[in-house]
């Protein structure tokens, strides 16, 4: 296995929160994804040296930034880590150019100027170099913060929710720019977000954090397609988590019962008959058959509509199946075509490929 | 330890002596051509300052106990101890009250609501006032009316500004404030001796001795008398 | 012979200078700290405000006087603080210090803590961060603290009387001269001197405010 | 008979309350004003810092005493300030006031003036704007000012001694008791009482800081 | 003449600036346009009642907001004027909803809530109502400030550089929104900008301010096409201002000499022969003939290239004609095709319609 560029494994105990992340990343775009309060910002702050873990290590390119056993705890000044906090924290009384130059005090004058010019040009900020941060737009502020962090040629770049203060319309554009920068600098970039869409759009590696612990760290597609635990599954949008009982685990498809219904599940491993299995189904991967369809063969469920919740251009429908709930998402036109109303019974259908086996129950 | 200085005599003097000593200094300077400087403060402050190395040549106190303490500690020269004047305690009433106070017993009269005296804990005139009340047998009636001034001057000020109806203060203060006053019988309080002594470490013992001598001179004694002090025991 | 006014201005000026310098340093050390040591330092700095100046002066006298080891050592290296105007500077500095620390600390803590954090990841020393980022953004609090300190130093009397004495021409500052006049029953002089002190204080405070806003405003304009 | 400690706490507590209320009002009036009247008021508020407390107390005594019209009027409506603990509250309030005004004013002026301007175009009274916008954004300065004021009020001694006298059990606050002991040469008592005052001050100041940050932080968290 | 909704004519003297604007606007989108320091912000502040003019009047729908002669000076609170300052000045410690509700204190509770909901919905801010201003994007902040100013149903809306903190990409979108809001509320809106492009994109009425005075106030096209003074002409991008001598002012085209060259000028008025005339030519309306072309007939000038300044995708070329300068703007491809280099001589051509007569010299 090739050595990762950056590894962290530490524990940080706070009065009512315990942070214990463990992950490694290479020179890639890694996204730390989790719910609000999961410990994302705190993790970044620990990596930057702004809070001190109680134990463990943080290693960058083979050097320890922190190691409780060896008694190493480099101050933020000496970590060679670029940090862009959530609201950029630009120095409000200094010009854009001075902000960028702030970390370059130890360079000779000419070199410092050259470096600043280069970065301002790269970030398309030349015209604004004399303005104060309050006088430029949100996207320009973000680019300034990025330029400031990159000026010192860090070996790792940390960014906390960099798109929160940027227009939706601009985000796609800024994301591309960020991906390009990551490739140019060829350093690990760890970016924090609580937006699934953003995680999906950016991540090469996706690191999922929940209640202070890393619950899965893998390629983006791995995490989205094969969540390891129900928590990850839910975070990835698989809101339907079912407990099923294996009936036949020997064939190419696994057969299992969920209450009165039999489900065929695409699964390459094998499972003992009678064992319990956790599976996840995305609400958009459940189809609703038109009124009057039959509901007998496998992967067909009879369900009653309990609630209809319009969400943006979609409808999220809550169905009861026996006494359990299934969430189904349909587009608005499809919903109109189905002519559904609460209390009605319908047949739901799920493809075996849409039922994902979740290996580790929480 | 005071380093030798070709400077004027520096005299630590009780604040209550301020107006009197300022007058004496002028006469003395005219006579001898030697300048003197006073550092006025409360007797308690001055004693602490001397203990901590204040460069005073002479300590002139309204409280003989403080001088004796410092003599005992070796800071003042016992041989130079001079009781140069004696304080007189008087009874004063607020000017606009229009009462004629005739004796200390009058203070017990309910018409008198409050009585200012200097703090008996550290001011000699306060101590004398307390003795007076006790010996006159009015302490029970007067005690609840007492207001302690920070100094005997403060007590006088309280009467002068009409904030207390009466007070037991120094005659010198009453005179300087133009307050009509009633002298109290001497047996009611122990003598308020004003004592001076020369600092053991002074570098100017000759000048200092000259000044003490001047304090006993008829000229100085005349000033004391005029200001409301009684001539010292010599 | 120095006039009480000149002496007062010299003492208050120097004391303000020292109080501002030490006060800024202390505010820097204390801002956003929650440690035991920080709390104790904070309390120690505030004490000169709580203790009556005379009492403070007494403790200073004992601490710096000829009989204390510190006083003896200072004297051996030629520094004589007791009964000198330099002693008055020490007293005024100590009483003015908490005013600088208090308001500067509050202003520094009002600065977004992310600014400091980011600055640290950019390799700058804590001192540089403090001087380049925090202080310029906290200038109003510093100015207010400096003004309070100057006013307090100019009016200082209790501790000064104790440690520096009341020696005309040497240690008699204007407030002490006023005390002296009051003691001598010369209320006319006292009023005159108090008026002088008042006018001087008002003129200088208004001056400091204008100068301070102008200077600080130039460095840290932003939108402030 | 009230113990000096209890009396001190009562006086300092009330004085801080008054100083904070009046101080906020004055800071509101003075902030960003450049008029002559504002400058004079500012100077007048600062005076208690410049004048020796004893002298200040003397003026207060004359102003509020029985012979003054103001004192007579106050007495006629049943308010007796001379030789009462209420008088001590007045003295402590006056000496503490400039500390609140100074640091609150600085903190209010640090708030973006556009906020106030916009708020005015939105039809709200200046008082509402001050209470809803400016004060919550200036809480750190207010807290610092309040703490300085409390410390100063707790330690107040010179002016209090003049106006309230030194009446054990009635007006003898802890600082006056300490002064008394030092004057009487009873250093053991003085040290004991000074230690008590110190400990109480430290405990309460640390308490105010925590409570203040917690309360103010809740209202005006933002990113501050 | 129909009464305008809003009229202002006042004078405000500052130590080193004299502001004396005079203009009127109807229920339209008016843009106050001028260079930095021309007095735009100060004018808005005076209209809002935040600074007090020395004399003159400000009248809204027939009522005086300020009138030095009648001694009227309404405080900002009573003017019924909405004001959005340059950086929005949102209250940072209050939620978006509270910001919007700030001016509605005198409404009954239910009505206040309804009004806030309506505005939040209109500005698409419902989802953000509990967020603090620091937690939303620049465009969302702008919409919040607008909602807050409109909440009180003002009779006039003032906005100072509302697009300065917004991404270039978003501006077009926000401008449209603003125009729609102006139409919906049907009140005069006075918007400040120092960007010519923005003034062009937004203004129905364009009010040009220079050194504290209104130098022209007319419809946008009037101002762009027929600047009244050289100053306005320059502000509108007519960088070439020439003094010409009339040779024949009697025909359908006016003939005039500029140094050695004769110019035909499209002009409907008549001018005395021998009189001096000021004309303006936009740099993009001057054509450069290919090398070797003749330069004899009218409106052809022989010029020498002095300087080439790339500006974005264009080139701004400085030509000398005799000893005078002419600025010419060409696109990058055209520039390449012309194969120009400094010192070369070329023939320049200007259509008579591209030469604008400026009636009032400064
Ligand atoms: N300095 C601190 N002291 C005590 N608790 C803290 C501190 N900083 C963070 N926490 C707690 O740690 C937990 C994680 O906080 P963190 O800021 O890392 O969350 P997050 O994942 O970044 O959430 P969000 O998406 O809302 O920013 C929270 O419960 C928070 O209350
Ligand atoms: N309060 C003030 N006191 C003195 N001069 C002022 C004041 N406010 C503005 N000025 C001056 O008035 C002039 C006009 O300022 P104003 O802010 O209105 O310019 P502006 O047109 O808005 O420019 P910009 O595009 O840079 O915002 C400037 O010269 C400025 O220095
Ligand atoms: Mg976070
Ligand atoms: Mg402007």
Q: pLDDT for B98-113, tens place per residue?
A: 667 788 898 998 888 8
Confirm if E320 and E303 have CB atoms less than 8 A apart. Answer: yes
Residue A232 lies inside a defined structural domain of this protein: no
**pLDDT exceeds cutoff 60 at D199:** yes
CA-closest residue to ligand 1 atom 31: A37
Q: Interhelix angle for B218-227 vs B205-216, to 10°?
A: 60
CB E96 near ligand 2, within 6 Å: no
H runs (alpha helix) in B139-204 = 139-142, 152-160, 171-176
- Residue among B22, B37, B53 minimizing CB distance to C65: B53
Task: Give yes or no: residues E164 and E249 share one domain.
Answer: no
Tell me whether residues C120 and A132 touch, CB distance under 8 A.
no
Residue of higher predicted confidence among C151 and E168: C151
Residues E11, E159 share a domain: yes
Q: Of A95-99, A128-132, E7-11, E310-314, which gets the smallest average pLDDT?
A: E310-314
Residue E34: inside a domain: yes
Asked if the Cβ–Cβ distance from D183 to B158 is below 8 Å, we say no
Is D166–B150 a contact, with Cβ atoms under 8 angstroms apart? yes
Q: What is the pLDDT of residue C218?
A: 53
- Shared domain for E277 and E200, answered yes or no, is no
- Which residues, including other chains, have CB under 8 Å from residue C40's CB and lie 6 or more apart? none
Best-predicted range by mean pLDDT (A264-273, C115-124, E244-253, E300-309): C115-124
Q: In this predicted structure, which of A185-194, C117-126, E313-322 has the lowest mean pLDDT?
A: E313-322
Q: Show Cβ contacts of residue E73 under 8 Å, excluding neighbours closer than 6 positions.
A: E49, E52, E66, E67
**Residue C224: pLDDT band with limits 50, 70, 90:** very low
Per CB-CB distance under 8 Å, the chain E contacts of D119 are 91, 102
pLDDT surpassing 60 at residue D223: no
User: What number of C-beta contacts closer than 8 Å exist between B and D?
Assistant: 59
Asked if the structure places residue A1 within a domain, the reply is no
Assign B53 a pLDDT band (cuts: 50, 70, 90).
confident
D23/C contact by beta carbon, under 8 A? no
A55-69 burial code (b ≥16 CB/10 A, e <16): ebbbbbbeebbbbbe
Residue D216 has pLDDT above 70, yes or no: no
Q: In what order do the strands lie in the sheet with E300-311?
A: E286-288, E345-350, E300-311, E314-321, E324-331
Q: Kindly state whether residue A121 falls inside one of the protein's structural domains.
A: yes
Q: Which residues pair with E265 in a beta bridge?
A: E254
Residue A169, domain member (yes or no): yes
> What share of chain C has pLDDT > 90, as a percent?
38
Average pLDDT value for residue range E172-190: 89
Task: Give the separation between CA E320 and CA E301, rounded to whole angstroms.
Answer: 10
Rounded Cα gap, residues B2 and B49, in angstroms: 13
In this structure, what CATH number is given to the domain that contains residue E295?
2.40.50.100
> What pLDDT was estimated at residue A231?
93
Strands B230-231 and E314-321: unpaired
Measure in Å the smallest separation between the Cα of A141 and chain C Cα atoms. Answer: 14
Model confidence at B94, in pLDDT bands (50, 70, 90)? confident
Reference D148, options D110, D109, D204; nearest CA is: D204
Confidence (pLDDT) at D218: 53
Read off the pLDDT of residues C7-27 as tens digits, 9 standing for 90 and up: 999 999 999 999 999 999 999
Q: To 5 degrees, how large is the angle CA C101–CA C103–CA C104?
A: 65
Residue E195, helix vs strand vs coil: coil
Is the Cβ pair D221, E87 closer than 8 Å? no
From chain B, pick out residues whose CB is under 8 angstroms from the CB of D182.
44, 48
- Write the burial class of residue C39 (CB in 10 Å: 0-12 exposed, 13-18 middle, 19+ buried): middle
pLDDT at B189 over 60: yes
Atom of ligand 2 minimally distant from the CA of E192: 22
Q: Is A356 exposed, middle or buried (0-12, 13-18, 19+ CB in 10 A)?
A: buried
C-alpha E176 to ligand 4 mean position (Å):
22
Task: Give dist(CA A22, CA E271) in Å, integer.
Answer: 86
For residues A179 and A175, give the distance between their C-alpha atoms in angstroms, rounded to a whole number. 6
Domain-located, residue E1: no
Residue in chain C lying closest to B43 (CA): C162
Total of domains in chain E: 2
Residue E71's CATH number:
3.40.50.300
Residues 6+ apart with CB under 8 A from C51: C59, D155, D175, D178, D194, D197, D198
A126 Cβ partners below 8 Å, 6+ apart? A117, A120
Report chain B's terminal Cα–Cα distance, integer Å: 30
Q: Is the CB of E40 under 6 A from ligand 2?
A: yes
Give the separation between CA D55 and CA C112, rounded to whole angstroms. 43
* Residue bearing the CA closest to ligand 1, atom 27: A36
With contact defined as beta carbons under 8 Å apart, do D163 and D61 qualify?
Answer: yes
E291 and E210 within one domain: no
Q: Based on the fold, state whether residues E196 and E250 are members of the same structural domain.
A: no
Tell whether the model's pLDDT for residue D131 goes beyond 80. yes
Decide which of A226, A257, A289 is a domain's last residue.
A226
Is E118 found in the same domain as E22? yes
> From CA E217, how far away is CA E223, in angstroms rounded?
7
Residues A142 and A188 in one domain: yes
Q: Which domains does chain D have, with CATH numbers?
A: 4-223 (1.10.3720.10)
- Nearest Cα neighbor of E224 from E258, E199, E246, E193 is E199
Pick A167's closest partner by Cβ from E134, E164, E167: E167
Question: Are A195 and A58 part of one and the same domain?
Answer: yes
The pLDDT of B214-227, averaged and rounded, is: 93
Q: What is the mean pLDDT of residues E230-253?
A: 90
Model confidence at D183, in pLDDT bands (50, 70, 90)?
Answer: confident
Confidence band, pLDDT 50/70/90 cuts, at residue D217: low
Domain co-membership, A221 together with A250: no
Residue B231: band (very low, low, confident or very high) from pLDDT cuts 50, 70, 90: confident
Using DSSP's 3-state secondary structure scheme, residue A29 falls into: strand
* Closest ligand 1 atom to Cα of A39: 18
Nearest chain A residue to C134, by CA: A91
* Contact status of D121 with chain E (Cβ, < 8 Å): yes
pLDDT at A112: 95
Where among A182, A202, A226 does a domain terminate? Answer: A226
Range of the domain at E280: 240-358
Is B207 in contact with B57 (CB distance < 8 Å)?
Answer: yes
> What pLDDT tens digit does each residue of chain A (362 aa) get?
344 589 999 999 998 899 999 999 999 999 999 988 899 999 999 999 999 999 999 999 999 999 999 999 999 999 999 999 988 999 999 999 999 999 999 999 999 999 999 999 988 898 889 999 988 877 889 899 999 999 999 999 999 988 877 777 677 778 888 899 899 999 999 999 988 888 988 999 999 999 999 999 999 999 998 999 999 999 998 999 999 999 988 778 899 999 888 999 988 888 888 899 999 999 988 999 877 666 556 688 889 999 888 776 678 899 999 889 999 998 877 888 888 888 888 999 998 989 999 988 77
Largest CA distance in chain A: 80
pLDDT tens for C23-52 read 999 998 888 776 777 777 887 888 888 888
In this complex, which of B42, B121, B162 lies closest to D66 when CB atoms are compared?
B162
E310 and E199 in one domain?
Answer: no
pLDDT digits (tens, 9 = 90+) for C153-197: 998 988 898 888 888 888 899 998 988 888 777 889 989 999 999
- Kindly tell me if the per-residue pLDDT of C222 is higher than 50: no
Indicate if E215 and E253 belong to the same structural domain: no
Q: What is the pLDDT of residue B59?
A: 96
Expressed in angstroms and rounded, the spacing between residue C138 Cα and the centre of ligand 4 is 26
Q: Which chains touch A (3 or more CB pairs under 8 A)?
A: C, E
Asked if B29 and B181 touch (Cβ cutoff 8 Å), the reply is no
Smallest CA-to-CA distance from A362 within A253, A211, A222 is with A211
Distance (Å, whole) CA A284 – CA E106:
48
Q: Given this model, what pLDDT does residue B5 score?
A: 45
The residue contributing the CA closest to ligand 2 atom 16 is E39
Q: For all residues of chain D together, what is the average pLDDT?
A: 86
The pLDDT score that the predictor gives to residue E2 is 44
Q: Which of D118, D124, D223 faces E83 most closely, judged by CB atoms?
A: D118
**Could you tell me if A137 and E87 are in contact, meaning their C-beta atoms sit under 8 angstroms apart?**
no
Do E98 and E211 belong to one domain?
A: yes
ipTM score of the complex?
Answer: 0.78
Domain boundary among the residues A176, A204, A226 is at A226
User: Is the minimum distance from the CB of E324 to ligand 2 under 6 angstroms?
Assistant: no
* Residue A176 forms part of a structural domain: yes
Q: How far apart (Å, rounded) are the C-alpha atoms in residues C133 and C110?
A: 12
Judge whether residue C221 has pLDDT over 50.
no
């Amino acid at each position: 296995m090739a050595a990762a560029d950056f590894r962290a494994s530490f524990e940080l105990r706070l009065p009512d929160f315990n942070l214990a992340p463990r992950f490694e990343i290479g020179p890639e775009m890694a996204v730390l994804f989790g719910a609000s309060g999961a410990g994302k910002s705190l993790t970044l702050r620990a990596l930057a040296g702004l809070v001190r873990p109680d134990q463990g290590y943080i290693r960058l390119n083979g050097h320890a930034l922190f190691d409780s056993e060896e008694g190493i705890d480099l101050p933020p000044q000496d970590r060679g880590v670029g940090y862009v906090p959530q609201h950029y924290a630009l120095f409000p009384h200094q010009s854009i150019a001075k902000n960028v130059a702030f970390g370059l005090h130890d360079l000779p004058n000419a070199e410092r100027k050259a470096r600043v010019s280069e970065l301002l040009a790269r970030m398309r900020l030349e015209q604004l170099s004399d303005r104060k941060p309050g006088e430029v737009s949100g996207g320009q502020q973000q680019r300034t913060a990025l330029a400031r962090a990159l000026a010192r040629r860090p070996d790792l770049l940390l960014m906390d929710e960099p798109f929160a203060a940027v227009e939706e319309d601009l985000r796609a554009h800024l994301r591309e720019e960020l991906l390009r920068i990551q490739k140019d600098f060829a350093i690990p970039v760890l970016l924090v977000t609580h937006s699934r869409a953003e995680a999906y759009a950016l991540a090469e590696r996706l690191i999922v954090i929940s209640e202070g612990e890393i619950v899965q760290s893998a390629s983006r597609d791995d995490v989205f397609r094969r969540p390891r635990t129900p928590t990850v599954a839910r975070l990835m949008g698989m809101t339907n988590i079912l407990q099923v009982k294996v009936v036949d685990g020997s064939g190419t498809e696994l057969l299992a019962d969920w209450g009165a219904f039999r489900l065929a599940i695409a699964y390459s491993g094998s499972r003992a008959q009678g064992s319990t299995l956790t599976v996840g189904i995305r609400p958009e991967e459940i189809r609703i058959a038109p009124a009057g369809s039959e509901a007998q063969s496998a992967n067909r469920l009879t369900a009653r509509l309990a609630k209809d919740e319009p969400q943006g251009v979609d409808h999220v429908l809550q169905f009861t199946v026996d006494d359990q709930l299934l969430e189904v998402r349909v587009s608005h036109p499809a919903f109109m075509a189905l002519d559904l109303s609460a209390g009605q019974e319908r047949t739901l259908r799920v493809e075996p490929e849409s039922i994902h086996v979740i290996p580790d129950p929480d | 330890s005071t380093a030798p200085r070709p400077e004027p005599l520096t005299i630590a003097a009780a604040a209550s002596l301020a107006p009197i000593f300022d007058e004496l200094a002028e006469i003395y300077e005219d006579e001898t051509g030697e300048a003197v400087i006073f550092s006025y403060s409360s007797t308690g402050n001055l004693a602490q300052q001397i203990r901590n190395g204040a460069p005073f040549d002479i300590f002139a106190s309204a409280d003989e106990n403080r001088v004796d303490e410092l003599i005992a500690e070796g800071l003042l020269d016992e041989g130079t101890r001079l009781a140069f004047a004696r304080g007189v305690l008087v009874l004063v009433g607020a000017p606009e009250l229009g009462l004629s106070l005739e004796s200390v017993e009058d203070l017990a009269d309910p018409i008198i609501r409050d009585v200012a005296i200097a703090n008996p804990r550290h001011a000699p005139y306060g101590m004398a006032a307390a003795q007076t009340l006790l010996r006159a047998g009015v302490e029970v009636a007067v005690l609840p009316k007492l207001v302690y001034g920070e100094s005997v001057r403060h007590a006088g000020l309280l009467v002068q500004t009409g904030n207390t109806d009466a007070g037991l203060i120094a005659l010198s203060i009453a005179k300087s404030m133009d307050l009509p006053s009633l002298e109290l019988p001497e047996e009611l309080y122990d003598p308020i001796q004003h004592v001076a002594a020369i600092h053991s470490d002074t570098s100017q013992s000759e000048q200092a001795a000259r000044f003490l001598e001047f304090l006993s001179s008829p000229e100085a004694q005349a000033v004391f008398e005029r200001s409301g002090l009684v001539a010292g025991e010599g | 012979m120095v006039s009480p006014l000149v002496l007062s201005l010299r003492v208050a000026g120097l004391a303000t200078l020292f109080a501002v310098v030490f006060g800024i340093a202390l505010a820097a050390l204390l801002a956003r700290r929650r440690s035991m040591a920080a709390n104790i330092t904070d309390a120690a700095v505030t004490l000169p405000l709580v203790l009556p100046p005379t009492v403070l002066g007494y403790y200073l006298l004992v601490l710096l006087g000829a009989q204390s080891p510190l006083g003896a050592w200072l004297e051996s290296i030629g520094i004589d603080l007791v009964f000198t105007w330099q002693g008055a500077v020490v007293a005024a500095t100590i009483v003015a210090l908490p005013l600088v620390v208090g308001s500067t600390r509050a202003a520094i803590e009002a600065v977004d803590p992310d600014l400091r954090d980011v600055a640290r990841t950019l390799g700058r020393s804590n001192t540089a961060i403090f001087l380049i980022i925090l202080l310029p953004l906290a200038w109003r609090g510093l100015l207010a603290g400096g003004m309070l300190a100057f006013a307090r130093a100019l009016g200082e009397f209790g501790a000064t009387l104790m440690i520096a004495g009341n020696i005309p021409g040497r240690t008699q500052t204007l407030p002490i001269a006023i005390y002296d006049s009051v003691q001598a029953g010369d209320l006319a002089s006292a009023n005159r001197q108090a008026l002088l002190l008042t006018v001087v204080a008002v003129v200088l405070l208004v001056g400091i405010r204008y100068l301070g806003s102008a200077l600080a405003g130039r460095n840290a304009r932003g939108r402030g």
